[in-house]
């Protein structure tokens, strides 16, 4: 996430999970004398990063940060090798790769060098785009936040979205009237019964027909920037909605986006394109998993098919996080889902041991 962004999730839903709930975001902010509210105040990126680092220091002090270069099958389980050359033999492996391998770029923008087109996840500092023309593609929080930050750092921004409008997330605060709480209960994924069922009944979600699950994962909690970004976007720079990108061409050092905006063909000429177009899990993009092992993993829409304990079709190989969303629903995409995943997986690992 670029510097200057804020989390869209509420404070109470942004805790990193530990079994005793001993070190919540609220406690960290209280100890560090930082502003905090369970609901209603966006959590600044720098606050969340500091919380995560302190969480690791206190609760996982022996963390090994060496990247994993390969995971291969052996007769007794798996052989895991790090980039430093260390080899670990294990009967069980849990893949908690997050989203970093799954950045998605639409076909119309794919295949271009990073000097022309980049994904929003490639940027932690946007200052290099000062005084340059940049097109940001997308309608969600990443796209809107990146566009606003670029504008505020002196870039000439165009926000380009297929959606007919930018649907900002509505602000919400507590206490709410009892009727509102009954009609739209609050959950870690937002307000409403659909989100509440996603957080409370992930095993029921897994039992639903595949077509239903894939549709819900794709559509529920779609693009919706935080309410606190609205004044930083509306009227500040050009926003092109109902706009489809036909193709991109590079000419005379500039990038020409050929688009159809509300059915009318036009060109948007910029110096760089940032695709803030989300993430799609794909087992084949986890290249640190040996190709032979990857072939053993059954999939649905490129993501692994998992048991109720997050185990894949490769025995004792588990996947959590975004890779598990097609099986367990939107809950798996968020930090709020870590409790459910950790408890299910750890109980299974204890039985295996």
Convert the pLDDT of each residue in 96-139 to its tens digit.
999 989 999 999 999 899 999 999 999 999 999 999 999 999 99
SS (H, E, C) 107-147: HHHCCCCCCCEEEHHHCCCCHHHCCCEEEEECCCHHHHHHH
Tell me the average pLDDT across 313-328. Answer: 97
Please say if the pLDDT value at position 173 is more than 80: no
CA distance 243 to 259: 6
Look at 58-62, 147-151, 174-178, 254-258 and tell me which has the smallest mean pLDDT: 174-178
The pair of structure tokens assigned to 54 is 């302190």
How many percent of the chain have pLDDT more than 70?
Answer: 100
Please say if the pLDDT value at position 231 is more than 90: yes
Convert the pLDDT of each residue in 244-291 to its tens digit.
999 999 888 899 999 999 889 999 999 999 999 999 999 999 999 999
Closest CA to 261 of 167, 161, 117: 161
CA distance 215 to 196: 17
Location of structure tokens 């990108």: 245
The edge-to-edge listing of strands for the beta sheet with 77-82 is: 68-74, 77-82, 87-90
> What's 340's DSSP letter?
H
Q: Where are the domains of the chain?
A: 6-59, 107-168+224-275
Residue 17 pLDDT class (50, 70, 90 cuts):
very high
Long-range contacts of 91-94 (CB under 8 A, 24+ apart): 91/316, 91/352, 92/316, 92/317, 92/318, 92/349, 92/352, 93/316, 93/317, 93/318, 94/310, 94/318, 94/319, 94/320, 94/345, 94/349
What is the architecture of the domain spanning 107-168+224-275? Answer: 3-Layer(bba) Sandwich (3.50)
Q: Are 60 and 53 in contact (CB under 8 A)?
A: no
Q: What are the residues whose beta carbons fall under 8 Å from the beta carbon of 264, sequence distance 6 or more?
A: none
pLDDT of residue 66: 93
User: What residues form DSSP beta bridges with 248?
Assistant: 257
């Amino acid at each position: 996430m670029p510097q200057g962004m804020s989390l869209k999730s509420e404070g109470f839903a942004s805790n990193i999970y530990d079994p005793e709930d001993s070190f919540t975001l609220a406690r960290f902010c209280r100890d560090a004398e930082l502003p905090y509210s369970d609901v209603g105040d966006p959590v600044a990126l720098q606050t969340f990063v500091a919380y995560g680092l302190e969480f690791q220091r206190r609760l996982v002090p022996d963390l090994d940060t060496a990247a994993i270069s390969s995971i291969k099958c052996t007769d007794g389980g798996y052989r895991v090798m790090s980039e430093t050359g260390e080899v670990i033999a294990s009967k069980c492996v849990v893949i908690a790769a997050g989203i970093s391998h799954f950045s998605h770029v639409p076909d119309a923008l794919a295949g271009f060098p990073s000097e022309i087109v980049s994904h929003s996840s490639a940027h932690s500092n946007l200052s290099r785009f000062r005084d340059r023309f940049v097109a940001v593609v997308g309608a969600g929080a990443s796209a809107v936040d990146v566009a606003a930050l670029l504008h505020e750092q002196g870039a000439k921004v165009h926000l380009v979205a297929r959606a007919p409008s930018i649907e900002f997330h509505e602000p919400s605060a507590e206490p709410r009237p009892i009727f509102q709480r009954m009609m739209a209960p609050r959950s870690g994924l937002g307000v409403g019964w659909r989100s509440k069922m996603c957080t409370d009944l992930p095993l029921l979600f897994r039992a639903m027909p595949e077509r239903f699950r894939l549709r819900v994962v794709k559509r529920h909690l779609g693009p919706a920037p935080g309410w606190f970004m609205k004044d930083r976007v509306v009227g500040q720079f050009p926003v092109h909605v109902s706009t489809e990108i036909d193709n991109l061409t590079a000419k005379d050092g500039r990038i020409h986006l050929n688009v159809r905006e509300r059915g009318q063909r036009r060109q948007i000429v910029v110096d760089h394109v940032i695709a803030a177009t989300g993430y799609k899990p794909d087992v084949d993009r986890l290249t640190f998993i040996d190709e032979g092992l990857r072939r053993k993993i059954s999939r649905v829409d490129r993501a692994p098919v998992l048991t109720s304990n997050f185990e894949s079709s490769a025995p004792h190989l588990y996947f959590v996080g975004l890779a598990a969303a097609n099986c367990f629903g939107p809950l798996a995409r968020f930090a709020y889902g870590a409790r459910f995943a950790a408890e299910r997986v750890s109980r299974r690992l204890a039985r295996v041991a």
